Amino acid sequence: MTSRDGFTWTPSDGLKPGVPSLGVISPSSNISSTQVEYDVIVIGAGYCGLTAARNAALDGLKVLLLEGRDRIGGRSWSSNIGGYPFEMGGTWVHWGQSNSWREITRYRMEKDVEMSFDFAKGVKHFELNTPESSVTMTHDDEDILLDSALKKFTNIDGFYGRKTIPLPYTTFHQPSSIPLDSLSALDRINEIADTLSPQERAVLEASILLASGGTLETTSFHEFMHWWAMCGYTYQGWLDMLITWKFRDGQSTFARRFFDEALATKRLSYAFNTPVQHISTSPSAVEITSRSNTTYRALRAICTIPLNVLSDIKFTPPLPTGKQAAIAIGHVNQTVKVHAEVSNKDLRSWTGINYPNELHYAIGDGTTPAGNTHIVCFGGQNRHMDPEVDVDRTKRAVSSLFNPGNYAGQNVQIERLVFHNWSKDEFAKGAWFFAPPGLLSEHLDDMRGRHGNVVFANSDWALGWRSFIDGAIEEGTRAELEVREEVVGLRGVKQKL
């Protein structure tokens, strides 16, 4: 099935909207009547919504899942083109991310996870291209450089953050860590600028922007340190947990397990291509109205809509002022992610940074059935582009990652581009969550707070792996448990009456 999301480009076909995905659901709805009162309506079929809907259905609740897209997965989904998966959003998993790994073992998918990197043969080097210089080095030297830069950036207490953030799940209840949220990444860089070499500063800034998808000024130093703490306060943990292990056949194979298990209970109703426009909560129930003016009713609702999209929904009564303030601020991540299939097979062992650039960080991430190298490239808000608007510019941004002097006489022809424009996606308005300074210390509790009979759950305000698949599963689990306890209690009251 082909989703309306995403784009592909090839020399022969040009730019085409829509890409095939295992996450597309057909038929798009299994609802036979809109007069049903559900136990819970789950809004959004990303990993958070899928977890909540599956758990609720398994627990015996009558569930309705509403989704504006034609597919599951939200900001984490894959496209399979020519027998090869391209990850359009969230990609990497790790056993240190306990919620997601629990689900991987639940579905017996441990053997479906493989390593992104393969440095066994080919060029086996890292390129660092800046306006001042172009340097090629071994991957060991790349690691030494990044390790040094990140240690200088994160060593705020002589223990690389371990003393200041000893338990990252409760960070805003620790007075020592709260002041970090008033600082931007640029503020911290300015504090240590005299200790950084030009190469260290270039790879550090590129790495920060790879994480945040914002600018140095709009990146919360605290949120970066939260990621660092979750990764075990080390560069090796950062590398292992954030960008090393992925599903061999793509994220959508994982998401399907959640959806299919929920569907098998025969307690899951669903409607895709059904954007929500109004959520009304009363003392006894919730009414959800779609853009087509269809109304659905339930005892409770779990809203998994991302922070940057909540302003598009009308709430009755209006949301609390703290939640409205958080929504008005929003998160900063406008990452551009572009997959390039290139003809040089030796680039499988290549990594590179070209900073600053529209695409500033990239790695060789696989070999396609045609024998070409798959390069996954990232850019950010500092030099934002819409890749589908000017494909030639996108191709130049990919090509500029490679210093031509390193590939004299070798072909680095771009055979295919695959991407999804998250900034223009009306159901995301950005990529994974990353906070600006002050947002979380002021409004994390507001973001997590419920509104009447509506429980809000999303990786954007998870306590642990915030903004990751793991955080989405964490939040979906929390929300379903809260709703299940209430619905079971209401059922008991009704039975007694």
Residue 308, domain CATH: 3.50.50.60
Give the whole-number percent of the chain exceeding pLDDT 70. Answer: 98
Spatial neighbors of 321 by CB under 8 A, at least 6 apart, are none
Give the whole-number percent of the chain exceeding pLDDT 90. Answer: 93
Distance between CA atoms of 323 and 307, rounded to whole angstroms?
10
- Annotation: binding site for FAD: 276
Query: Is 9 part of a structural domain of the chain?
Result: yes
Element (H, E) at 63: strand 63-66
Query: Is 84 part of a structural domain of the chain?
Result: no
**DSSP assignment of 407-467:** GTT----EEEEEE--STT-TTTSSSS--PPTTHHHHHHHHHH--BTTEEE--GGG-SSSTT
Please indicate, yes or no, whether residues 138 and 236 belong to a single structural domain of this protein: yes
Q: What is the pLDDT of residue 107?
A: 98
Distance between CA atoms of 206 and 360, rounded to whole angstroms?
7
Spatial neighbors of 411 by CB under 8 A, at least 6 apart, are 343, 344
Q: What is the pLDDT of residue 173?
A: 83
Please indicate, yes or no, whether residues 350 and 229 belong to a single structural domain of this protein: yes
DSSP state of 472: H
Please indicate, yes or no, whether residues 424 and 461 belong to a single structural domain of this protein: no
C-alpha separations of 73 from 24, 70, 307 in Å: 9, 10, 17
Assess whether pLDDT exceeds 60 at residue 409: no
Give the residue numbers spanning the domain of 258.
Answer: 2-78+251-320+449-491
What average pLDDT score do residues 417-423 get?
97
Q: What is the pLDDT of residue 497?
A: 39
Please indicate, yes or no, whether residues 135 and 203 belong to a single structural domain of this protein: yes
Please indicate, yes or no, whether residues 192 and 340 belong to a single structural domain of this protein: yes
Q: Given CA atoms 257, 263, 269, 273 in this order, what sign does their dihedral have?
A: positive
Assess whether pLDDT exceeds 90 at residue 214: yes
Helices then strands, each counted (H, E), the chain: 12, 21
Higher pLDDT, 406 or 366: 366
Distance between CA atoms of 203 and 313, rounded to whole angstroms?
40
- Annotation: binding site for substrate: 378
* Residue 383 confidence class, pLDDT cut points 50, 70, 90: confident
What average pLDDT score do residues 425-446 get?
98
What average pLDDT score do residues 178-192 get?
97
Please indicate, yes or no, whether residues 190 and 61 belong to a single structural domain of this protein: no
Mean pLDDT, rounded, of the chain: 96
Q: Which two tokens stand for residue 124?
A: 């086996």
Cβ proximity of 229 and 172 under 8 Å: no
Please indicate, yes or no, whether residues 227 and 364 belong to a single structural domain of this protein: yes
What average pLDDT score do residues 408-416 get?
79
What average pLDDT score do residues 168-197 get?
94
- Crossing angle of helices 198-212/221-230, nearest 10°? 90
Please indicate, yes or no, whether residues 59 and 178 belong to a single structural domain of this protein: no
Q: Which two tokens stand for residue 273?
A: 């291509």
- Express each pLDDT in 234-285 by its tens digit: 999 999 999 999 999 999 999 999 999 999 999 999 999 999 999 999 999 9
Q: What is the pLDDT of residue 366?
A: 96
What average pLDDT score do residues 358-366 get?
96
Query: Is 112 part of a structural domain of the chain?
Result: no
Please indicate, yes or no, whether residues 335 and 483 belong to a single structural domain of this protein: no
Q: What is the pLDDT of residue 493?
A: 57
Distance between CA atoms of 383 and 406, rounded to whole angstroms?
25
What average pLDDT score do residues 285-295 get?
97
Query: Is 110 part of a structural domain of the chain?
Result: no
Neighbours of 106 (CB within 10 A): 11
- Express each pLDDT in 20-71 by its tens digit: 999 999 999 999 998 999 999 999 999 999 999 999 999 999 999 999 999 9
Q: What is the pLDDT of residue 34?
A: 87
Q: What is the pLDDT of residue 495?
A: 52
* Residue 491 confidence class, pLDDT cut points 50, 70, 90: confident
Please indicate, yes or no, whether residues 364 and 290 belong to a single structural domain of this protein: no
Q: Which two tokens stand for residue 142?
A: 């790349």
- Annotation: binding site: 276, 378
Q: What is the pLDDT of residue 406?
A: 82
Please indicate, yes or no, whether residues 20 and 158 belong to a single structural domain of this protein: no
- Express each pLDDT in 97-131 by its tens digit: 999 999 999 999 999 999 999 999 999 999 999 99
Query: Is 108 part of a structural domain of the chain?
Result: no
Residue 471's SS3 state is: helix
- Please give the model's pTM, rounded to 2 decimal places: 0.97
CATH code at position 125: 3.90.660.10
Assess whether pLDDT exceeds 70 at residue 408: no
Query: Is 99 part of a structural domain of the chain?
Result: no
In the chain, the number of structural domains is 2
Spatial neighbors of 28 by CB under 8 A, at least 6 apart, are 70, 271, 272, 273
Please indicate, yes or no, whether residues 210 and 267 belong to a single structural domain of this protein: no
Q: What is the pLDDT of residue 494?
A: 57
Beta strands in 169-271 (DSSP E): 245-247, 268-271
Q: What is the pLDDT of residue 127?
A: 97
Query: Is 214 part of a structural domain of the chain?
Result: yes
- Express each pLDDT in 195-206 by its tens digit: 999 999 999 999
Q: What is the pLDDT of residue 496?
A: 47
